[in-house]
Structure 1
Amino acid sequence: MAKKSMNEKLRNLKADKEGAGLPAEQKIKVTEGAENPGTKIKIDEELNFEEDDEAARPKPVPKKDRRGSKQMQAELEAAKELAEGNKEKYTRLLSEFDNMRERNKKENAEMSDKGAKDALEKILPVIDNFERALDSVAEEEKTPFEEGIEKIYKQLMDTLESIGVKPMNAVGSEFDPMLHNAVIHEEDAEQGENLVVEEMQKGYMYKNDVLRHAMVKVVN
């Protein structure tokens, strides 16, 4: 009866082992003891069901590792904030540098133009004298010397035009106080209203600025 009960226990163990998915090689052997008429049970390998269950469970993260992970996360967030701050500073400084460069470029151009205008204003009276001298001689009476002077005058005017200096040619245009200085005003029914009819002194432009206002006679 005891042997039968033991056999049933062995079968139950074997069934439990197979249900747990253990290899078939892990067999349970029953041998008769030589000295003891009773039954001795030997098991080839231990049935480590509990150990297998423990291995299947996720191992808890040690507290030390959790603290290290939190510290790394905090350091990463701090590094991101620092990078964003540095990026904003760099963008702002770059914008300020570009603005300063453009401002300096504009100021340098204005200073250069002012220096050029100051020099050109001193040349204009020389041009006036050239024109008076050439106008005083009739075209048919010009000598080779006077013709040479006229060529020099034209060369000078071409050079001035190449750097942005141009005469206004005010005659026939409407009077503009921004460009013209009216020194004579007359009434003439045959002329248009507020019209420049004569140029007493030629005006000049330097690029988009007035280099010298034209002195003109205006009618109506």
Structure 2
Amino acid sequence: MNEEQIPVETSNESMENITAEVPAPSETETTAEVEVMPENLEDSSPQSEKSPESTPVISPEEAIAELQQKIASQQQEIVQQSEELDSYKKRYITLAAEFDNYRKRTQREQKELEHQVKRKTITELLSVVDNFERARTQLKPSSDGEMEIHKSYQSVYKSFADSLKRLGVSPMRPEGQLFDPNYHEAMLREYTNDHPEGTILEELVRGYLLGDQVLRHSMVKVAAPQENVTPAEEEATESPENNESQN
């Protein structure tokens, strides 16, 4: 069964009538709706967005007093640290001076020990030098064979003397000098007016120096004035060589 569409005709007059039948909102209702919206927005805002509590206000006098207290505390701390620093400096200076004195004392003791060992060793060797010198003065080679032997031990003596020289040993040459007890030891006196009193006439046993120090005193014969000398004193002071020649 076919339904027929019935066209509905609306005229402008009918639309106007419908619009006129719908009542328009009053001004009071519109204002109420507008005023309600801000209240709803304020209620929906989170609690964290509320203004923070106001901090207590400090007066300028209290702030200045607090700063002055902090400054005084820091100044006292600076003074304490300065005193500690001065104490550490004094301790460092004392330790440095003690170490320097210890180092110098150790070096000095080491040098003295080396010098003593060197001195003792060389002193023991001087007797060998004395024997060579006695042999040179007393032995007179009379043949070619004896001359060869003489040259051999003289070369040994020269080598030995050169070694002592390299070690700083030097012989004394006191003949003609005035007697000095710091370097010489008087063994004999010869009464004579040919030389001033105290003049060294002969070296009996050679003396040696190690650097500027006496290694062994030189044993010498010195001149004495001849006046007021008894024959007994003159005979007692004669050298053994003169006594042997007179015999």
Q: Which amino acid aligns with 2:190?
A: E
Q: How does 1:140-219 map to 2 (within 5 A)?
A: 143-219=147-223
Q: How does 1:43-82 map to 2 (within 5 A)?
A: 61=63, 63-82=65-84
Q: Tell me the TM-score normalised to structure 2 length.
A: 0.60
Residue in 2 aligned with 1:131? 133
CA deviation map 1:82-115 (0-9, x unaligned): 1112111211221122122112211221111111
Report runs of 4+ in structure 1 exceeding 4 Å deviation: 138-142
CA distance in 2 between partners of 1:206 and 1:153 (Å): 19
CA distance in 2 between partners of 1:94 and 1:139 (Å): 68
CA distance in 1 between partners of 2:62 and 2:166 (Å): 86
**Please, which of 113, 116, 125 is the counterpart of residue 114 of structure 1?**
116
Greater shift in the superposed pair: 174-183 or 155-164? 155-164
Q: Tell me, which stretches of 5 or more residues in structure 1 are unaligned?
A: 1-57
Q: Tell me, which stretches of 5 or more residues in structure 2 are unaligned?
A: 1-59, 225-247
- Structure of larger gyration radius: 2
CA deviation map 1:14-62 (0-9, x unaligned): xxxxxxxxxxxxxxxxxxxxxxxxxxxxxxxxxxxxxxxxxxxx88635
Shift of residue 216, structure 1, vs aligned partner: 0.6
Shift of residue 198, structure 1, vs aligned partner: 0.6
Determine if contact 2:169/2:210 at 8 Å carries over to the other structure. Answer: yes
Shift of residue 130, structure 1, vs aligned partner: 0.9
Shift of residue 145, structure 1, vs aligned partner: 3.1
CA distance in 2 between partners of 1:78 and 1:217 (Å): 77
Residue in 1 aligned with 2:229? none
The structure in which a higher percent of residues are strand is 1
Q: Tell me the TM-score normalised to structure 1 length.
A: 0.67
- Between the two proteins, the alignment pairs up a number of residues equal to 164
Shift of residue 169, structure 1, vs aligned partner: 1.3
CA distance in 2 between partners of 1:161 and 1:61 (Å): 89
Distance 1:61 1:144, change over 3 A: farther
% identity of equivalent residues: 31
Q: Which amino acid aligns with 2:196?
A: G
Q: How does 1:83-98 map to 2 (within 5 A)?
A: 83-98=85-100
Shift of residue 67, structure 1, vs aligned partner: 2.8
Q: What is the alpha-carbon root mean square deviation over aligned residues?
A: 2.3
